[in-house]
Amino acid sequence: MHKLRPASKEELSFLRAILNYQLGENIAHEVIPEGTLLKISRNTGKIREIFTPDGVPIASVVAATYTLNLKLYAARKIKELLPFPRLRVVVVNEVADDVVENESTVFARHVLMIDEELRAGDEVLVVDESDRLLCVGRLVLSPAEVLHFIRGAAVKVRECEKDGSG
């Protein structure tokens, strides 16, 4: 088992800069708090996962690109900090429960609305029509493609709210 260790000031600054750049927003200081813990790779010595001081996962680091894959904790914080529809993909209510229950891919035909500033490959929050957080994942298509296509995957879901508290 990997041990967690506290992040240095430089590491915190580095991770926050990555998140701010990735989201296009200056909110990383709220998402990655002081006292953050890190899981370090034994082989490479690089950061692999980021945790709150309480040990709740915030994000994992993609080794090849050094970008962050968000976890539910980060998604909740981002949703709280950014106004609707920023960084969101809105799915129709009829499929919302199925997406959460099966942690399945969100298909283009089920997307009602999407933040037009997103790009394919961006981290997104999947919400229902009332802005309830359902899942976090990665956008597969551009917003224009998502709204135009009636077939194909729109969001590759990574993690979903199982208790419905989103």
Decide whether 4-78 matches 84-160 in CATH topology: no
- Domain 84-160: what homologous superfamily? PUA domain (2.30.130.10)
pLDDT tens digits along 9-64: 999 999 999 999 999 999 999 999 999 999 999 888 899 999 999 999 999 999 89
CA distance 28 to 5: 20
CA distance 110 to 88: 14
Domain ranges of the chain: 4-78, 84-160
Domain 4-78 is in which class? alpha beta
Whole-model pTM: value is 0.91
CA distance 19 to 142: 20
pLDDT tens digits along 126-156: 999 999 999 999 999 999 999 999 899 999 9
